[in-house]
A = this chain, B = another copy of it.
Amino acid sequence: MPETESLSVSSSMQSNAILRELPPGELEILATHLKPVALAIHYIFSEPGQEIRYCYFITSGMTSTVAVMQDGSSAEIGVIGSEGLVGFTAMLGVSISQNLTIMQVSGDGYRLEAEKLRSLAEELPHLRRAIDRFIWSSLGFYAQCAACNRFHTLEERLSRWLLTVRDRIQANGLPLTHEFLGQMLGAHRSTVTLALGVLESNGVIQNSRGKIELIDLARLEKTSCECLQSIRKLPGFPAAAHNGHLSA
């Protein structure tokens, strides 16, 4: 246990990559404004066109940001886990959300007002720098998604997506329905079922109602597109975390 921990700084803050990067002085100042929150699955952080009031440093669990079309179809453009800050776009001076961001896998985080974070970032250079770098990485994520959506098959994107989630939640059981996956991947539910069926019959994953169990991570990497590696390389983003592949 760190002995230098102040009253407001909690050790769980170290779980977030941005907060972890801050020097103790800055973290202490920031910490007095942070409020720990439990984030339940499907919690909506922001919807297109609405104001972003709060920002959230995620410490566990995972969020998805999706672009929603007029007809209601949607495609994922970003994923944020404990490496990041939900609501980061508000740091760029426009507090309107462009996309829908929801909690994908339950977890925890720290919340504070977007406006407060913005003014703090002006005083705390390391905080500002850490957030800027996260925005940089997010831009890379968006770009990769755009290209991925254009070129890669559903099986490739699905595999990539499952591993992207795993990289963040560090667990092999993902609580997801096919319908939901379809919304993330911008594909039809039945097509997702089909693709999952192929993976299952190859022993790569295991399906059950509302849950997908990753069995063979190594093989899953092989069926996913290059985008997986590109995303893993983004500074601050989680890379492969399986210490020894789970069998084959």
A→B interface (CB under 8 Å): 67, 69-70, 73-75, 77, 89, 91-94, 98-99, 129, 132-133, 135-136, 138-140, 142-147, 149-151, 186, 226, 235
Give Cα distance in the complex from A149 to B144, angstroms.
Answer: 12
In the complex, which of the residues B73, B142, B186 contacts A142, with contact meaning CB atoms closer than 8 Å? B142
What are 20 contact pairs spanning A and B, CB under 8 A?
A67-B144, A69-B151, A69-B226, A70-B226, A75-B146, A75-B147, A75-B151, A77-B146, A77-B147, A91-B132, A92-B135, A92-B136, A92-B139, A93-B129, A98-B143, A138-B139, A139-B139, A139-B142, A146-B149, A150-B150
- The chain B residue with its CB closest to the CB of A138 is B139
In the complex, which of the residues B91, B136, B145, B226 contacts A89, with contact meaning CB atoms closer than 8 Å? B136
Knowing that A67-B146, A69-B226, A74-B147 are A-B contacts, what are 7 other residue pairs whose CB atoms are under 8 Å apart, sorted by A's residue number?
A75-B146, A75-B147, A77-B143, A92-B136, A93-B132, A147-B186, A149-B149
Q: Are A73 and B151 in contact (CB under 8 A)?
A: yes
- The chain B residue with its CB closest to the CB of A128 is B93
Q: Which 3 A-B pairs have the closest CB atoms?
A: A67-B147, A146-B146, A142-B142
Residues of B within 8 A of A226 (CB): 69-70
Shortest CB distance A83–B (Å):
15
Residues of B within 8 A of A135 (CB): 92, 135
Give Cα distance in the complex from A142 to B65, angstroms.
Answer: 13
Q: Are B151 and A146 in contact (CB under 8 A)?
A: no
Give Cα distance in the complex from A144 to B65, angstroms.
Answer: 12
**Contact status of A69 and B147, CB under 8 A, knowing A94-B133, A132-B92:** yes
Give Cα distance in the complex from A75 to B69, angstroms.
Answer: 20
Q: Are B69 and A186 in contact (CB under 8 A)?
A: no
Give Cα distance in the complex from A135 to B93, angstroms.
Answer: 10
Shortest CB distance A131–B (Å):
9
Give Cα distance in the complex from A98 to B133, angstroms.
Answer: 13
Q: Are A136 and B93 in contact (CB under 8 A)?
A: yes
Q: Are A67 and B143 in contact (CB under 8 A)?
A: yes
- The chain B residue with its CB closest to the CB of A152 is B69
Shortest CB distance A65–B (Å):
8
- The chain B residue with its CB closest to the CB of A234 is B98
Q: Are B143 and A143 in contact (CB under 8 A)?
A: no
